[in-house]
């Protein structure tokens, strides 16, 4: 009850503080930045030369867990500057794969082929294609996993959140 009351009061303050239009504009700009980077990473000019992160959607868990696993893969690709290749043939929710239920994660790059391959080790500047394990077995664990946010966006996002909670 107290939480609900505080939340209502904070929402009322938020609506009356004069920053609502600024917050809307700033969050839209931040969204554009993230979506633009994802589009750039996921649609390289030359897929054969792109640095890739291969994620096999085979985690033995429920649908929500599977979507969470795909999101972890996308976050990791974003943070490492790689194109995500989501391998999902035989997926338990559609044997034909993720792309038969959802839009593909890339419009131009779906091949995991590359000149060099390696397993996740945390440092991969010279390896073109990295195989990402399921999150349960990820070692070393990088600092960018959720609930982390991209460092270049943090100051702007913090300002939006500070204005929200004052």
pLDDT in tens, 104-156: 999 999 999 999 999 998 876 789 999 999 988 999 888 888 778 888 899 99
Q: Is the pLDDT of residue 4 over 90?
A: no
**What's the pLDDT at 106?**
96
Q: Is the pLDDT of residue 69 over 80?
A: yes
Region 82-99: mean pLDDT is 93
**What's the pLDDT at 129?**
96
**pLDDT above 70 as % of the chain:** 96
What is the pLDDT of the chain when averaged over all its residues?
Answer: 88
How many whole angstroms separate alpha carbon 85 and alpha carbon 74?
Answer: 9
**What's the pLDDT at 9?**
75
Instruction: For the chain, give the secondary structure using H, E and C.
Output: CHHHHHHHHHHHHHHHCCCHHHHHHHHHHHHHHHHHHHHHHHCCCCHHHCCEEEEECCCCCCHHHHHHHHHHHHHHHHHHCCEEEEECCCECCECCCHHHCCCCCCCCCCCCCCCCEEECCCCCCCCCEEEECCHHHCCCCCCCCCCCCCCCCHHHHHHHHHHHHC
β-pair partners for 91: 94
**What's the pLDDT at 124?**
67
């Amino acid at each position: 009850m107290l939480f609900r009351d505080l939340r209502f009061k904070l929402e009322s303050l938020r609506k009356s503080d004069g920053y609502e239009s600024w917050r809307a504009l700033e969050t839209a700009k931040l969204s554009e930045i993230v979506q633009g980077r994802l589009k750039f990473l996921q649609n390289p000019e030359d897929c054969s030369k792109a640095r890739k992160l291969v994620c096999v959607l085979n985690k033995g868990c429920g649908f929500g867990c599977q979507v969470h696993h795909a999101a972890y893969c996308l976050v990791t690709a974003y943070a490492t500057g790689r194109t995500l290749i989501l391998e999902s043939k035989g997926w338990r929710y559609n044997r034909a794969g993720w792309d038969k239920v959802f839009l593909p994660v890339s419009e131009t790059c779906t091949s995991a082929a590359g000149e060099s391959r390696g397993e996740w080790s945390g440092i991969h500047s010279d390896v073109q294609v990295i195989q990402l394990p399921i999150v349960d077995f990820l070692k070393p664990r990088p600092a960018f996993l959720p609930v982390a946010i991209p460092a270049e966006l943090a100051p702007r996002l913090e300002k939006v959140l500070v204005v929200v909670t004052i």
